[in-house]
Structure 1
Amino acid sequence: MRLSELSGKELVDLKKAERLGILGQTDLEIDETTGHIKAFIIPSVKWFGFRKQGNEVRVPWHHIKKIGTDMIIIDIHEDHH
């Protein structure tokens, strides 16, 4: 799959079955030593469940459960404080 193919997919929360938004301009955080994808970096409009870093949201790769033809299923682990 190409990075450009991720654009336009809908993000869906696995546990809540909620639509979180449509992926637009997605960037990747890549581990320089292994070449593995560590996270999606998404310019945020409104996001819940993820830690904001400035104007963007970091979605760790291990939260992504399935990338389908038109959606990406993510499992958000809620932090209990």
Structure 2
Amino acid sequence: MRFSELSGKEIVDLNNGERIGTIGPTDMVIDPNTGKIEGLVIPKGKRFGKAKEEFYIPWTSIRKIGPAIIIVENHNSLKTT
């Protein structure tokens, strides 16, 4: 899967089925020492064209990437930046 294919997918919490948001413009965080993906930074809500807040989803929290949704575990542990 290409990174660009994540765009438009909904993010859903595995534990309670809550819709967290939809992936739009997203940044990927990569460990420069290992080259491994650490997580995704996803903007949520916009004001004057800028994100009001951002969520960091650790790559280890992603359980499944399907055709339309991304299932994450431990939504409560996701960080707001």
Report the TM-score when normalising by structure 2: 0.79
Q: Give % identity.
A: 49
What is the rounded CA distance, in whole Å, between the counterparts of 1:43 and 1:77 in structure 2? Answer: 15
* Runs of 5+ unmatched residues, structure 2: 46-51
**SS in structure 1 opposite 2:33?**
coil
User: What displacement does 1:76 show?
Assistant: 1.3
Aligned-residue CA RMSD in angstroms?
1.9
For these two proteins, the number of residue pairs brought into alignment is 72
Give unpaired runs (5+ residues) of structure 1: 46-53
- Runs of 4+ with deviation above 3 angstroms: none
Residue 66 (1) aligns with residue 59 (2): no
Instruction: State the TM-score, normalized to the length of structure 1.
Output: 0.79
User: Matched residues in 1 for 2:76 and 2:67: separation?
Assistant: 26
Paired residue for 1:44? 44
Q: Which has the higher strand share?
A: 2
Q: Which residues of 2 match residues 9-24 of structure 1 at below 5 A? A: 9-24=9-24
